[in-house]
Chains A and B, each alone.
Chain A
Amino acid sequence: MSGPTANCPNCGAPVKFLWSSAVQTTCESCHSILVRTDVDLKKVGEVADLPADASPIQIGTEGAYQNKSFVVVGRIIYEYEQGGWNEWHIVFNDGSSGWLADAQLEYDLSWLSKPPQPLPPSTDKGQTFQWQSKNYQVTSVTKAHYKGVQGELPFEYWDKSDLIFADLRTTSADFGTIDYSEKPPLLFLGRAVEFDDLHLKNLREFEGWT
């Protein structure tokens, strides 16, 4: 799954795409945020130093979920008062893309979903929604800060600041997020997953651990 290669319009370093449908990527050399146009790459911003992070996942990590293999191609980094988390952008072998969240080593997989009814402009803890004949309950509403991006994303995403996320759970391991950074808000639905369920390879290594 190696996509086209181009050169960074800022520093000239080669920029390689893992996913042919990527809309945005970052230059590994100069940390420029690059958006693809019809003809070339355009620099739209620069990533500040990424915060130290302890996720075992990195760009290039491979895994499989329910017999579909995937590769991690990019991420969005968020921070809130109780810590930070990564939304890893993953691309499956059928070309579809999803998100693998790693919040202090608790993992959720989710996919952009179309809500059957328009989502309310805001939600409160305890509010319930019925989607796909399951009862989702809002368990937390978090105000987060955008801290940076890395690698390939399915959309342009670089000029954010404070964002509101509502997390939802069911009595099974279902997981949902309403992302209020867009209008109308976006709905992501998926599952809470165990580390071992993801069959991850090419992970980061930690000193003293094998």
Chain B
Amino acid sequence: MPAVQAKSVSCPNCGGPVQLRGFANTLSVVCPQCLSVLDASTPEVQILQKFQGKTQVKPRIPLGVRGKIGDTQYEVIGFQVRQVSTGDDSYSWDEYLLFNPYKGFRYITEYNGHWNFVRVETALPEQLHARGKPAVRFGGKTYLAFDSMRASTVYVLGEFPWKVQRGDSVACQDFVAPPSMLSSESAGGEITWSRAEYMTGPQVWQAFKLPDSPPPAYGIFANQPSPYGASVATSWSTWLWLNVALAALIFFFMMFSPGHVAFSDHYAYAQGVTSSLSLGTDSSFVTPAFQLDGRDSNVELSIQTDLDNNWAYFNFALINDKTGQAFDFGREVSYYHDSDGSDGNRTNSVIVPAVPSGQYYLRIEPEMATGSPFMRYELELRRNVPNYGFFGLAFLLLLIPPGFTTLRRGSFEAARWRESDYAPSMSSSGGDD
């Protein structure tokens, strides 16, 4: 069978040629010479409406241009300007009709440099309420009511698969789930639902291979995807991974770099009995000397005891063998337990910061309550232990980037919803801008 031919007709108003790109799908067409709207549904073309206006509009995407969206090539065959009047104010958007002889019709809309690719949907959205607003559920997504308006066709060019007229008016309602938007148009009791997907100007320019550059986008459009939407999720997942790395680092330090042991020994303490395995007259005694190396850095003294429902107090002095400089400190260790649970810990530790290198010894003086039994304990002195406080600081610093991105998204969403009929009441008195 031969290919279906595109036809052209003569304008009954001015006699000029009128090309039909949509084959027999075209029910009305605008004469490109005199802008009369013609009825193309019958072989005898008739005038539906003559052009009375003064200004002509030049579409940003010319009629007849083809572009590829997804896998499908579409040709721009129709164009209309649709206007909304709100009291003394009015605004308008442009709507391009796209055609493919197999896949059918789609639309592209443009408002202030924001573009949408639109298709008519046949399934019915489910009406509901979400986040305090009317909403619809469609295709697994919840769309929040954004605004409603009455839109009138004020200018037309090209072809349409219905009988278009300037002055056609429909009631519209928009529901958003960025980057998608679901819109209803109702006229004559029929409701048509369509779904729009946000496109940027450069995406449209690339799809239709248009010259020059697209108009800049002003403001934030109803279904414009938040530039922070994805980055918020990314920044929090980065945060999570950095925390995992931080935990691994802590684990690594604890396992493999717990400082260098400068001194350790075992002792026993019993009241009245002079100390221990080491020398000493009363409960106080000194250790043999040991070396602390390197730059000024901390030492950690940890105490491990076998206390059982008892306490002990340790007075320590870390004394430089040469200069006599002493670091005095003390620690209590207590451990109690009964059938209800336990309190305290058999071990304790203390960090002494900024100890210069040199030869040192410890003076140790344990104390216990009178009548206490025998206690065994172990002391370990480590040089240059990791400071876990830095990890805490790192944890707080890591919170800054995702926190900041989250705040930015919040202000973007606030700006979006300021344009809505459902703007938060705080900004509804802010007036129009």
**Residues of A near any B CB (own CB < 8 A):** 51-54, 56, 58, 82-83, 104-106, 108, 125, 137, 139-140, 169-175, 192, 195-196, 203-209
Contacts and interface: CB of A to CB of B under 8 A. Distances in A.
A208 B124 CA distance: 35
A61 B6 CA distance: 22
Interface residues of B, number: 34
A173 B104 contact: no
Nearest to A106: B104
B122 A171 contact: no
- Main secondary structure, interface of A, reads loop
Nearest to A136: B124
Contacts of B138: 171
B162 A105 contact: no
Given A106-B104, A139-B124, A205-B3, 17 more contacts: A54-B24, A54-B101, A104-B25, A105-B101, A105-B103, A108-B122, A125-B189, A139-B191, A171-B124, A171-B137, A192-B122, A204-B1, A205-B2, A206-B3, A206-B6, A209-B73, A209-B102
12 contacts: A54-B24, A54-B25, A82-B162, A105-B100, A105-B102, A137-B124, A171-B137, A204-B1, A204-B4, A206-B4, A206-B23, A209-B73
A62 to B, nearest CB: 15
A125 B190 CA distance: 9
Contacts, number: 87
Contacts of B122: 106, 108, 169, 173, 175, 192
Nearest to B23: A54
Contacts of B158: none
B76 to A, nearest CB: 14
A54 B22 contact: yes
Contacts of A173: 122-123
Given A204-B4, A205-B4, A208-B6, A52 B24 contact: yes
Contacts of B120: 106
A203 B102 contact: yes
Contacts of B43: 52
Contacts of A170: 123-124
B162 A83 contact: yes
Nearest to A172: B123
B105 A105 contact: yes
Contact of B104 (A108, A195, A204): A195
Given A125-B189, A169-B122, A171-B126, A207 B103 contact: no
Nearest to A175: B122
Interface string B153-184: 00000000111000000000000000000000
